[in-house]
């Protein structure tokens, strides 16, 4: 009898346990197109990969609850993206973006970022570009406590931050880059740290993925293809499964 009682209690605890919650954030959207080329807009690429990733998780991971910050072409403010994850008590936050450079033709390759030190000038430039979306929000100076996305001085505060989720975030970022290299056969530009506002406000391990450079014609063609979207989504999915295990 005792054995059956123990088994019953274990079953109840499993049924009552909260599901693992993954928040997938498709960067930009609506009035904010993100980076653009002559043939593509970042917001559309981000959304296509985010939805494909979510579908893979929903089909293959019944113990995981997927929450999207957006599933259509709408504008979601940066702080609200983090708020969605925090309200959902998420276990993991993955923000999906597409890279660009000031040069007419950009390089090639994928990068994954975590919140942290951003001493390298290139890392700071990426953070500035992605954070500049807050200028489209009303009252952003007060909402983000005077943060100026274009001022290097505004990023000094990140030098003082101690991210308790850093180890987990870096681990996931490394797994994602490995899968981009092995599954999608993309050029691996490594794991970096930078001061992304969308990562700063989340209370769980989080990463920001840069799928490729939209101002490189070859990458733009890949990023907008069905095969490219599926391969990139599969790469992130494989990394998530390995991370969760």
**Domain ranges in the chain?**
21-244
Q: What is the DSSP string of 161-224?
A: ---TTHHHHHHHHHHHHHHHHHTS---EEEEEEE--HHHHT-SS-EEEEEEEETTSHHHHHHHT
Q: What is the pLDDT of residue 46?
A: 98
Q: What is the mean pLDDT of residues 67-71?
A: 98
**Above pLDDT 90, what percent of the chain?**
62
Confidence of residue 143 (pLDDT cuts 50, 70, 90): low
Question: In the structure, what pLDDT confidence band is assigned to residue 167 with cuts at 50, 70 and 90?
Answer: confident
The residue that leads in pLDDT, 244 or 194, is 244
Residue 16 has pLDDT above 50, yes or no: no
Residue 4 pLDDT > 70: no
Does residue 201 register a pLDDT over 70?
yes
21-244 — its CATH code?
3.40.630.40
Residue 194 pLDDT: 83
Largest CA distance in the chain: 74
Query: CA torsion sign, 153 to 103 to 183 to 229?
Result: positive
Q: Please tell me the pTM assigned to this model.
A: 0.78
Asked if pLDDT for residue 17 goes beyond 60, the answer is: no
């Amino acid at each position: 009898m005792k054995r059956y009682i123990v088994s019953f209690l274990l079953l109840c605890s499993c049924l009552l346990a909260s599901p693992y919650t993954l928040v997938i954030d498709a960067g930009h959207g609506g009035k904010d197109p993100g980076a653009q080329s002559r043939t593509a807009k970042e917001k559309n690429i981000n959304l296509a990969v985010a939805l494909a990733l979510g579908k893979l998780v929903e089909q293959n991971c019944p113990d995981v609850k997927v929450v999207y910050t957006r599933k259509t072409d709408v504008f979601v403010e940066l702080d609200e993206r983090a708020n969605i994850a925090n309200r959902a008590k998420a276990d993991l936050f993955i923000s999906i973006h597409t890279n660009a450079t000031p040069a007419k033709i950009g390089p090639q390759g994928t990068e994954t970022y975590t919140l942290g030190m951003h001493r390298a000038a290139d890392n700071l430039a990426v953070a500035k570009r992605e954070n500049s979306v807050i200028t489209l929000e009303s009252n952003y100076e007060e909402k983000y406590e005077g943060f100026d996305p274009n001022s290097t001085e505004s990023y000094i505060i990140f030098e003082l931050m101690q991210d308790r989720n850093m180890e987990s975030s870096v681990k996931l970022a490394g797994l994602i880059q490995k899968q981009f290299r092995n599954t999608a056969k993309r050029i691996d530009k490594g794991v970096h740290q930078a001061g992304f506002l969308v990562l700063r406000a989340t209370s769980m391990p989080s990463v920001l993925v840069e799928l490729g450079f939209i101002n490189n014609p070859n990458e733009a063609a890949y990023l907008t293809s069905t095969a490219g979207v599926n391969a990139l989504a599969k790469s992130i999915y494989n990394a998530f499964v390995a991370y969760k295990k």
